[in-house]
Chains A and B, each alone.
Chain A
Amino acid sequence: MDDLLREFVTETNESLDVVDVELVRFEQDPNNAKILDNIFRLVHTIKGTCGFLGLPRLEILAHAAENVMGKFRDGMPATNEAVTVILATIDRIKAILESLERDQREPDGSDNDLIADLERIAEHTKAAAEREKAAPPPEPERATRPGEVSLEELERVFRETPVDPPPVVKAAPVKAAPVKAVAAEETVKDDDNAKGGNQSIRVTVDTLEHLMTMVSELVLTRNQLLEIVRRHDDSEFKTPLQRLSNVTAELQEGVMKTRMQPIGNAWQKFPRIVRDLSNELGKKIELELQGAETELDRQVLDLIKDPLTHMLRNSADHGLETPVERRAAGKSEHGHIRLSAYHEGGHIIIQIADDGRGLDTDRIKAKALAQGLVNEAEVEKLSETQIHKFIFAPGFSTATTVTNVSGRGVGMDVVRNNIDQIGGAIDVKSVAGVGLSFTIKIPLTLAIVAALIVESGGERFAIPQLSVVELVRARKGGDHRIERIKDTTVLRLRDKLLPLARLSRLLGVETDAGRDVESGFIVVTQVGSQTFGIVVDSVFHTEEIVVKPMSSKLRHISMFSGNTILGDGAVIMIIDPNGVAQAIGSTVTSQMIVETIEDGRVDDASEQSTSLLVFRAGSTQPKAVPLSLITRLEEIDARKIELSNGRHMVQYRGQLMPLIVMNAHVAVKGEGAQPLLVFSDGARSMALVVDEIIDIVEDRLAIQVQSGVAGVLGSAVIKGQATEIIDIGYFLPMAFEDWFRRKDQAVSERQRSILLVDDSPFFRNMLTPVLQAAGYTVTAVGSARDALAMLEDGRSFDVVVTDIEMPDMDGYQFAEALRAVPRTAELPVIALSSQISADSVERGRQAGFHDYVAKFDRQGLIAALMEQTDVGRAA
């Protein structure tokens, strides 16, 4: 009896979950008889079983609900009220089941309230039905467009297509396990799954785990046998062993699949939750679920279920506005929540997005200050996105009123903790008034991935295939050469430079330091937008591996994401491409920046990195130019270079483009490919002749040694090497003598004057020629105090261009100081900043900036200057 009861409880619970979902669907689509049939059948089954097991309370309840549903079938409209009562009934049934499971008997109590409601609905609508029949259905289905097939029809086609029965019955006992997963999938996909109820069996997770282990053992044994047979050439074992091998492989695959479940299983309850919430909150909410079939490990699935539910509630409660508010904001009355899941680069990405009001930045800021997470000075420097990340801080909740729905003392910090636990990451994006979206990235730990098995430093490692783009064999003098730039190596691959990292060096397992660095296998790997090459000693094969979590003692090693047992029984470490990318040194875009927030620190302005193009010209010492100044990188056939009037020229895009040689040591090539850096301004272009383009690096630009050489701003350490920073402004007039002057003609009267304030000599030196070229006289000073002193001395300027991030007095304070003095109060101020956020723009507007331009946006700056000084009109 006990077993029977337990089975009944589990099965009924599952059926009720389906009923939940189906009822919500039915309410939206009341004409779909198929959905109704399915619900009806499920409830009927429950009723029947209750009667059989002698559970009167459940039987009566189920009977009353069935009655109402019978009325639906007879054409009674599925009103919101009716569905609510039925859902309440289902909840009651669930509660009874719970205590039934606990106490082995039905709890005492009466369900007369619900039964009365149900009966009233059944009776009441009998009369109403006639009237309703004439009237159009309450929520008519969207009219089918021409050529479109209705969902119902589609479903019918699917249903009526004969399907081969799953090979459950024929398979060996062990094979029965996969069926569970298949059945689980169907639960989500189709409403007609229940008819196959007997085709699935329940298996405990332990059983599956045990199976998994046994299969691993089997694989090992098989491999040993194969090894023996390989040594005896003419063995009669060969054929049966081959067969055994295939069966083992299939068995392994099958067992592995049993662990995987579609994420839709975790979403099953969501339509019901959203329906209840929209009733409770008086909001109109549409829920869209995408990628429900995305599979992930069931353990991971269990762990993310609650965080997802919590976030869904949050979106409905705090995120979405009431219909009235939405209408006032010019949005449709229906709030929209979209939940989507998909695989990306060895991870599963889950997004939950709503089109509600977004996060309240000011309130988060205030709360963060109140909780002492950040101080007043720091908070001002934070971007909006960084402020939003405070919602993940422990004990943080911005809801001013604790509502029944989501204010339960669990905040986003709990969500984040749960996700952290499984090695995932969460990010938030919010645009005020437009919506809020959370992105959760979960690694496929515990899951199965295809991996490339490689060897480095005498050890084998697995690299997840998902991040591997291609494999390149590098040889000395071959097509693909490994080239060295001092200590770093790069691969020239189809005219692109790929940064390389030798795995053995990253892992500190270099066996032979003097090893031939110019050969090896290069695993071209992509992480986010970053591509790099991992150099390994040899590459074996691809293998499906079961990712096992690393011991907690090893989890701090960012280079590994887990470990696995190979087919031959050895344990190997799985390389984490993200960790390698970090070790290579560049920032990985996909990496979450939550950590920096936790520290409450913001990068100092001087710490900000700049993209630099590193090249060689004339000497072995590398040279660099800010990438943003360069229009294009070109490699032209040297034979196309013409000598005209003593100058090198090349026909480029229908124009003659002058080539500038930086110094006497640089030779224009006579044959082969000549690399060029092309600089353009308007219709004019000029190119700088270089020997070799080395790399594009992200580094902090701090000129440490000023240069006496014309055309060189100074030297900076870039990627550990002294590099000359080239002054492009010096070379531009060499191409066109009037490069800086030609615009002067447009300015009829006097030249406009600019006061340029920037603490960085580099930017002063770079911007001065650019501004001069645009026809301004430029006075550059290194600090806001110097600028104020100059203005106090009576110097007058037409416009001020200032950096924001400066020591001592920053751009905001400078602007405020200018506003405070009547003589300079009207002086236009243009701010330059390397980071522009809605927040900083607003702050700048308050401080009195007239315009706000990104630091490297020359065109934007000149346009802003024209506007502020009326040069545009004068021209």
Chain B
Amino acid sequence: MSNDNSELNLNEYVTAMVGGQLFGLPIRRVQDVFIPDRLTRVPLAPPEIAGVLNLRGRIVTLIDLSLRLGLERLGNGGPTMAVGVEFRGESYGLLIDSVGEVMKLDAGALERNPINLDPRLASVSAGIFRLEGQLLMVVDVDRILDIPTRAAA
């Protein structure tokens, strides 16, 4: 079954909702999806950093994606989720509102960012897929984690 896909050059994305927008993260970058528990906030940290937590013995830094992307958090009551990614040997969790299905999308259908896209979103977007009824923005994980740290506090 999976052999049929090879000709189409399909990429797989883990989809996630943040602030009412659908995002896709390349599946090979996603390590796991978890429900953050016992989050420790870090004083003096950049606002995008929600805190640190212990995930099976590893310390994971949680990034609040909605703050990072300049989107509004939708406090829809459900448990907040996090997507675990690795960046330069360190573990990060991207805080999202909810996680969706894994989608296989044709790389050829990836469109460039509209030029009027919010600069904050544009800076982390790797392109847009037009899905039925909504748009999916592919995020560049490396660029999301390139958080400007202010001068030493």
Measured CB to CB, the residues of A under 8 A from B are 212-214, 216-217, 457, 459, 507-509, 548, 551-560, 563, 565, 569-573
* Inter-chain contact A554/B88, CB cutoff 8 Å: no
Partner of B153, one of A217, A509, A557: A557
Given contacts A507-B43, A557-B44, contact A552 B90 (CB under 8 A): yes
Which 5 pairs, one residue from A and one from B, show the smallest C-beta to C-beta distance? A507-B43, A213-B57, A551-B61, A556-B149, A571-B52
Can you name 5 A-B residue pairings with CB atoms under 8 Å? Answer: A459-B40, A553-B147, A558-B152, A571-B52, A573-B40
- Which chain A residues lie closer than 8 Å to B45 at the CB level? 553-554, 557
- Which chain A residues lie closer than 8 Å to B42 at the CB level? 554, 557, 560, 573
* Inter-chain contact B43/A551, CB cutoff 8 Å: no
Given contacts A551-B52, A553-B61, contact A559 B38 (CB under 8 A): no
CB closest chain-A residue, reference B49: A553
Partner of A571, one of B40, B43, B49, B150: B40
Q: Which of B23-79 contact A (CB under 8 A)?
A: 38, 40-46, 49, 52-54, 56-59, 61
* Inter-chain contact B153/A548, CB cutoff 8 Å: no
Does B1 belong to the interface (CB within 8 Å)? no
CB distance from A443 to the nearest CB of B (A): 16
The docked-state distance in angstroms from the alpha carbon of A554 to that of B48 is 11
The docked-state distance in angstroms from the alpha carbon of A559 to that of B45 is 11
- Which chain B residues lie closer than 8 Å to A457 at the CB level? 43
Does B117 belong to the interface (CB within 8 Å)? no
* Inter-chain contact B149/A553, CB cutoff 8 Å: yes
* Inter-chain contact A570/B38, CB cutoff 8 Å: yes
CB closest chain-B residue, reference A565: B54
The docked-state distance in angstroms from the alpha carbon of A554 to that of B60 is 12
Partner of B52, one of A212, A555, A556, A563: A563
Given contacts A459-B43, A551-B90, contact A559 B153 (CB under 8 A): yes
Does B151 belong to the interface (CB within 8 Å)? yes
CB distance from A212 to the nearest CB of B (A): 8
CB closest chain-A residue, reference B91: A551
The docked-state distance in angstroms from the alpha carbon of A212 to that of B58 is 11
- Which chain B residues lie closer than 8 Å to A569 at the CB level? 38, 54
The docked-state distance in angstroms from the alpha carbon of A176 to that of B22 is 51
The docked-state distance in angstroms from the alpha carbon of A536 to that of B145 is 33
- Which chain B residues lie closer than 8 Å to A554 at the CB level? 42, 45, 49, 52, 61, 149
The docked-state distance in angstroms from the alpha carbon of A859 to that of B92 is 63
The docked-state distance in angstroms from the alpha carbon of A214 to that of B44 is 32
- Which chain B residues lie closer than 8 Å to A573 at the CB level? 40, 42-43, 52
The docked-state distance in angstroms from the alpha carbon of A181 to that of B110 is 54
- Which chain B residues lie closer than 8 Å to A563 at the CB level? 52, 59
- Which chain B residues lie closer than 8 Å to A572 at the CB level? 40
Q: Which of B122-153 contact A (CB under 8 A)?
A: 145, 147, 149-153
- Which chain B residues lie closer than 8 Å to A214 at the CB level? 57
- Which chain A residues lie closer than 8 Å to B145 at the CB level? 553
- Which chain B residues lie closer than 8 Å to A548 at the CB level? 59
Given contacts A509-B43, A552-B90, A559-B44, contact A217 B57 (CB under 8 A): yes
- Which chain A residues lie closer than 8 Å to B57 at the CB level? 212-214, 216-217, 565
CB closest chain-B residue, reference A461: B43
CB distance from B131 to the nearest CB of A (A): 32
The docked-state distance in angstroms from the alpha carbon of A551 to that of B85 is 13
B contacts with A, residue count (CB < 8 A): 27
CB distance from A37 to the nearest CB of B (A): 47
- Which chain A residues lie closer than 8 Å to B44 at the CB level? 507-508, 557, 559
CB distance from A84 to the nearest CB of B (A): 44
- 10 additional contacts, CB 8 Å, given A553-B147, A565-B57, A571-B52? A508-B43, A551-B52, A553-B145, A554-B42, A554-B49, A556-B150, A556-B153, A557-B42, A573-B42, A573-B43
Give per-residue flags for B79-100: 1 if the beta carbon is below 8 A from chain A beta carbons, else 0. Answer: 0000000001010100000000
CB distance from A132 to the nearest CB of B (A): 59
The docked-state distance in angstroms from the alpha carbon of A398 to that of B92 is 44
CB distance from A873 to the nearest CB of B (A): 58
CB distance from A825 to the nearest CB of B (A): 52
The docked-state distance in angstroms from the alpha carbon of A555 to that of B44 is 11
* Inter-chain contact A557/B152, CB cutoff 8 Å: yes
- Which chain A residues lie closer than 8 Å to B151 at the CB level? 556
- Which chain A residues lie closer than 8 Å to B61 at the CB level? 551, 553-554
- Chain B CB within 10 A, most for which of A216, A217, A457, A553: A553
The docked-state distance in angstroms from the alpha carbon of A573 to that of B39 is 12
The docked-state distance in angstroms from the alpha carbon of A555 to that of B90 is 13
CB closest chain-A residue, reference B44: A557
- Which chain A residues lie closer than 8 Å to B38 at the CB level? 569-571
The docked-state distance in angstroms from the alpha carbon of A459 to that of B38 is 12
CB distance from B133 to the nearest CB of A (A): 36
The docked-state distance in angstroms from the alpha carbon of A459 to that of B40 is 8
CB distance from B136 to the nearest CB of A (A): 27
CB distance from A777 to the nearest CB of B (A): 52
- Chain A CB within 10 A, most for which of B49, B61, B92: B61
The docked-state distance in angstroms from the alpha carbon of A459 to that of B145 is 25
The docked-state distance in angstroms from the alpha carbon of A559 to that of B149 is 15
CB distance from A57 to the nearest CB of B (A): 41
- Chain A CB within 10 A, most for which of B40, B56, B90: B40
The docked-state distance in angstroms from the alpha carbon of A214 to that of B40 is 22
CB closest chain-A residue, reference B58: A213
The docked-state distance in angstroms from the alpha carbon of A558 to that of B145 is 21
- Which chain B residues lie closer than 8 Å to A555 at the CB level? 149
- Which chain B residues lie closer than 8 Å to A213 at the CB level? 56-58
The docked-state distance in angstroms from the alpha carbon of A569 to that of B61 is 15
The docked-state distance in angstroms from the alpha carbon of A570 to that of B153 is 24
- Which chain A residues lie closer than 8 Å to B147 at the CB level? 553
- Which chain A residues lie closer than 8 Å to B92 at the CB level? 551
The docked-state distance in angstroms from the alpha carbon of A463 to that of B50 is 22
Partner of A558, one of B49, B52, B88, B153: B153
The docked-state distance in angstroms from the alpha carbon of A563 to that of B59 is 8
- Which chain A residues lie closer than 8 Å to B150 at the CB level? 556
CB distance from A177 to the nearest CB of B (A): 17
- Chain A CB within 10 A, most for which of B57, B58, B90: B57
- Which chain A residues lie closer than 8 Å to B90 at the CB level? 551-552
* Inter-chain contact B43/A559, CB cutoff 8 Å: yes
* Inter-chain contact B59/A552, CB cutoff 8 Å: no
- Chain A CB within 10 A, most for which of B52, B56, B58, B145: B52
- Which chain B residues lie closer than 8 Å to A557 at the CB level? 42-45, 152-153
The docked-state distance in angstroms from the alpha carbon of A509 to that of B43 is 7
- Which chain A residues lie closer than 8 Å to B153 at the CB level? 556-559
Partner of A551, one of B56, B59, B152: B59
CB distance from B119 to the nearest CB of A (A): 21
The docked-state distance in angstroms from the alpha carbon of A509 to that of B46 is 14
CB distance from A581 to the nearest CB of B (A): 14
- Which chain B residues lie closer than 8 Å to A556 at the CB level? 149-153
CB distance from B56 to the nearest CB of A (A): 7
* Inter-chain contact A571/B41, CB cutoff 8 Å: no
- Which chain A residues lie closer than 8 Å to B149 at the CB level? 553-556
- Chain B CB within 10 A, most for which of A508, A551, A556, A559: A551
The docked-state distance in angstroms from the alpha carbon of A560 to that of B41 is 13
The docked-state distance in angstroms from the alpha carbon of A216 to that of B55 is 11
* Inter-chain contact B152/A571, CB cutoff 8 Å: no
The docked-state distance in angstroms from the alpha carbon of A214 to that of B49 is 28
CB closest chain-B residue, reference A209: B57
CB closest chain-B residue, reference A214: B57
CB closest chain-A residue, reference B150: A556
The docked-state distance in angstroms from the alpha carbon of A673 to that of B23 is 72
Given contacts A556-B150, A559-B153, contact A459 B41 (CB under 8 A): yes
The docked-state distance in angstroms from the alpha carbon of A572 to that of B41 is 9
The docked-state distance in angstroms from the alpha carbon of A560 to that of B153 is 10
CB distance from B99 to the nearest CB of A (A): 23
The docked-state distance in angstroms from the alpha carbon of A216 to that of B56 is 9
The docked-state distance in angstroms from the alpha carbon of A570 to that of B42 is 13
- Which chain A residues lie closer than 8 Å to B41 at the CB level? 459
- Which chain A residues lie closer than 8 Å to B40 at the CB level? 459, 570-573
CB distance from B54 to the nearest CB of A (A): 5
